[in-house]
Amino acid sequence: MSDEEGLVLERVSEGRSEFVHSYNVNCSINKTSKCSGCLSTQRFLMFSSDIDVMQRAIRIARTGVGLVEPNPMVGAVIVDAERNLIAEGYHQKFGEAHAEINAIRLAGKATRSADLFVTLEPCSHFGKTPPCAEAVIAAGFRRVVVGCQDPAPHGAGQGIERIRNAGILVEVGVCEVDARRLIAPFETLMIKQRPWVHAKWAMTLDGRVATSTRHSQWISCEQSRAWVHQLRGRVDAVITGAGTVRADDPLLTARPAGLRTALRVVIDSTGESVTADRKLVKTISQGAVLVCVSRRCTEASRSRMRELGVQVFETNSEDAVDLGEVLQELGRRRCTNVMLEAGPCLLGAFFERELIDEVHAFVAPKLIGGAMALSPVGGEGLPAIPSTANLSAFRVQPCGDDFLLEADVCRGLSQAETRITEQHGI
């Protein structure tokens, strides 16, 4: 890897170079010097601002995606007074050490009078691990810079207060919007008791997800489909509707398998689309299937599905399946991220109930045409064009022959964003 595209961080000890981590570096200046002990090349990172350091912490935190949930992704960077990198760490796996602890362990005695940057307020309670706030105090930092506060109503501010009371300078809110976005699925699960919903679809350049005859395989290219399999491999559930089960008989598994095995969820009021010959049922040993039904589902249909090895969840509604109840059930199962891979009917219903958090749309260089061909999001739709953008964090990237367009769905500004907007007079 060249210095232009990234940097390999090495720790040199007793003449031996120990690989620690590799990064893509675009916001920090790096310099190369000789290690006086062994004369091998040692590379340092030097950051030019607090924002650069926090952005680095955010970037390394993302390495934990798919492994830390239902915990939040967290990153920590320790620098000296000139903002030279001393050590860094991230939360690597659910149940294991938190980011600050990994960084503190790597830094050793060098934490004395150093600055700790951490994307999320250090915890102040005993969970699976002891409180990080205590370890931060014991490490003797000069300053602690926090990206955002703990979103838990009972925990917010307590870790910060504890560290401040110990006489350490604490600054809160550096890169707050990005730090908060990093933990959005965790925050959604904690506050709304439901998972973060990723809606994914593949459409032609004229905005169609299937022909008028409901043919849709395949709109996107192989590379795009491989990307979808990667996302399936890091979410806790993949949700589809009875219409898609009937039209496409999907498997909904990640191929190759990812970090997690997603629960395969079918929204079908009667459960009648889920029959013994469906691929979902035939592959039950590769991943559980949950069919969410309404009261329209008969007792006979429920027992038929249970005999097939399928789990059944009945929502308290007479007609269509209650989607809010489905998400609450997935929240109870500690699902943090779920992917909606459905047709226009279900996507429209989620959109109308404001239950879509993030969109991943593949646009393929194909045209289908036809007034009856399906477009991605059905239902009534909005009566007028929104006066301001109702998507944020819009991202575009090529993906094989296609383009992948991604964005977060915004419903008004979050508290943090409102405060930041006010501060900047925007």
Q: Shortest approach of ligand NAP to residue 19 CB, angstroms? A: 41
Residue 26: how many other CB atoms lie within 10 Å = 11
Retrieve residue 175's tokens: 């890169």
Instruction: Say whether residue 224 binds ligand NAP (CB under 6 A).
Output: no
Instruction: Specify the stretch interacting with ligand NAP by CB under 6 A; choose among 4-12, 122-130, 214-222, 408-416.
Output: 214-222
d(C-alpha 405, C-alpha 407), whole Å: 7
Which entry of Zn ion, ligand NAP, none binds 146, CB below 5 to 8 A by partner kind?
Answer: none
Q: Which residue has the tokens 């760490």?
A: 89
How big is the site for ligand NAP, counted in residues (CB under 6 A)?
A: 30
Instruction: Say whether residue 349 binds ligand NAP (CB under 6 A).
Output: yes
Residue of 276, 24, 73 whose CA lies nearest to 180 = 73
Annotation says 272 is catalytic:
no
Which entry of ligand NAP, Zn ion, none binds 117, CB below 5 to 8 A by partner kind?
Answer: none
Q: Shortest approach of ligand NAP to residue 224 CB, angstroms? A: 10
Q: Shortest approach of ligand NAP to residue 145 CB, angstroms? A: 42
Which entry of ligand NAP, Zn ion, none binds 209, CB below 5 to 8 A by partner kind?
Answer: ligand NAP
- What are the distances in angstroms from CA 144 to CA 108, 122, 131? 17, 10, 16
Residue count (the chain): 426
End-to-end, the C-alpha distance of the chain in Å comes to 41
d(C-alpha 327, C-alpha 195), whole Å: 7
Instruction: Say whether residue 244 binds ligand NAP (CB under 6 A).
Output: yes
Q: Which residue has the tokens 């909606």?
A: 340
Q: Which is nearer to Zn ion, 91 or 208 (CB)?
A: 91
Strands 358-364 and 402-409, bridge-based pairing: antiparallel
Instruction: Say whether residue 123 binds Zn ion (CB under 5 A).
Output: yes
Among left, alpha and beta (phi > 0; psi -120 to 50; other), residue 350 is alpha
Q: Binding to ligand NAP (CB under 6 A): which residues in 266-295?
A: 267-270
Instruction: Specify the stretch interacting with ligand NAP by CB under 6 A; choose among 49-57, 90-98, 206-214, 396-404.
Output: 206-214
Instruction: Say whether residue 343 binds ligand NAP (CB under 6 A).
Output: yes
Strands 391-399 and 358-364, bridge-based pairing: unpaired
Strand partners, 397: 404
Which entry of ligand NAP, Zn ion, none binds 98, CB below 5 to 8 A by partner kind?
Answer: Zn ion
Q: Shortest approach of ligand NAP to residue 244 CB, angstroms? A: 3
Retrieve residue 11's tokens: 């720790």
Retrieve residue 332's tokens: 């109870």
DSSP-based three-state secondary structure for 259 = coil
Instruction: Specify the stretch interacting with Zn ion by CB under 5 A; choose among 124-132, 177-185, 223-231, 327-335.
Output: 124-132
Q: Shortest approach of Zn ion to residue 144 CB, angstroms? A: 13
Cα 320 to chain centroid distance, Å, stands at 29
Which entry of ligand NAP, Zn ion, none binds 163, CB below 5 to 8 A by partner kind?
Answer: none
**Residues with a known catalytic role:** 100
Tell me which residues touch ligand NAP (CB under 6 A): 201-202, 209-210, 214, 216, 219, 240-244, 247-248, 267-270, 320-321, 323, 341-346, 349, 374, 378
